[in-house]
Amino acid sequence: MKIIMDGKEVAAEYGQTIIEVARKNGIYIPTLCHVPGLEPAAMCRICTVELTEHRRTRLVTSCNYPLRQDAEIQTDTPRLRGGRKLIIELLATRCPDRQVLKELGERYGADLHRFPADDKDCIMCGLCARVCERVGANVLTLSGRGVEITVSTFMGRVATHCIGCGACAIICPVNAIRIEDHDGYRSVILKGKEASRIPLRSCTSCGRPFGPVIDLAPVLERAGEPGVPAFHTSVCPSCSRRNHAKRILERHFEPYDTAIQAFVDEGRRF
């Protein structure tokens, strides 16, 4: 399989996507809705490249196009630059003044205020929904159709089966999702509105909240592990560490009270 990318021959395995090959060879292709490890959705279309197979040239998205035969790929032509510019300008109507669009806009000479803005706080990349599915919680999903498509919980209700992992907040390229802990609860704030709420468990030792109360079964199933003990404890990680240290000291260094105290203090620093 002979793959030529931007005029230079590159190594590629059968079935690899264009973007994997490009990244490995240091060729830049912009993406907004692609994260390695998640199933590609090809929604933003900004990673579109020109592909020539059997002397037939067409536009394909690099995030999900599997290379299976000889191909020549152009990743940065005037036509692609024009299309990417328009994608950025169109997405800017949903989300003006976001860093990620500003940076891309500068690169492709896009006028972020070309079309009238209609701030929807979201560029509809679908990453949050896909990562939520991948984690196993299935709280966020894409609902509605056409212009009205939106990231939402089931029926727009405040979800209680969220595990509060925060993957959606971390993955969102326009920071439309926040995680907030308050009054013993953790909330996922989606576009300024509470999307899910889960109680936090308090440490039985120090009383501080240290993590959400969740049903871990789906997560553990995904992780393929029988159980992670730390999730089942009732004390927070720092108290757990301190207690552990205390037990070791009591067993091995019983006579030395002062030494115990020093170790305990040491443990508290973590």
Q: Which residue ranges make up the site for other proteins (CB under 8 A)?
A: 40-46, 48, 59-61, 64-66, 79, 82-83, 86-87, 90-91, 93-94, 115-116, 124, 126, 142, 144-149
Cβ of residue 169: shortest distance to other proteins, in angstroms?
23
Neighbouring C-beta atoms of residue 229, cutoff 10 Å: 7
Six-digit token pair at 228?
């992670």
Cβ of residue 166: shortest distance to other proteins, in angstroms?
25
The CA angle 35-37-41, to the nearest 5 degrees, is 55
Q: How far is CA 233 from the centre of its chain?
A: 27
Cβ of residue 48: shortest distance to other proteins, in angstroms?
6
Task: Output 64 or 243, the one with its CB closest to other proteins.
Answer: 64
Q: In sequence order, which residues have a C-beta less than 8 Å from that of residue 86 and are 6 or more positions away?
A: 110
Instruction: Quote the CA–CA distance of 35 and 43 in Å, as a whole number.
Output: 12
Task: Output 87 or 203, the one with its CB closest to other proteins.
Answer: 87
Task: Output 102 or 246, the one with its CB closest to other proteins.
Answer: 102
Instruction: Quote the CA–CA distance of 136 and 230 in Å, as a whole number.
Output: 19
Work out whether strand 48-53 and strand 8-10 pair parallel, antiparallel, or are unpaired.
Answer: unpaired
3-class SS at 197?
strand
Task: Output 59 or 248, the one with its CB closest to other proteins.
Answer: 59
Element (H, E) at 56: strand 56-61
Task: Output 44 or 236, the one with its CB closest to other proteins.
Answer: 44
138: left (phi over 0), alpha (psi -120 to 50) or beta: left
Q: In sequence order, which residues have a C-beta less than 8 Å from that of residue 114 and are 6 or more positions away?
A: 89, 92
Cβ of residue 102: shortest distance to other proteins, in angstroms?
17
3-class SS at 256?
coil
Task: Output 165 or 176, the one with its CB closest to other proteins.
Answer: 176
Q: In sequence order, which residues have a C-beta less than 8 Å from that of residue 97 and are 6 or more positions away?
A: 112
Cβ of residue 46: shortest distance to other proteins, in angstroms?
8
Task: Output 97 or 215, the one with its CB closest to other proteins.
Answer: 97
Cβ of residue 158: shortest distance to other proteins, in angstroms?
22
Cβ of residue 222: shortest distance to other proteins, in angstroms?
20
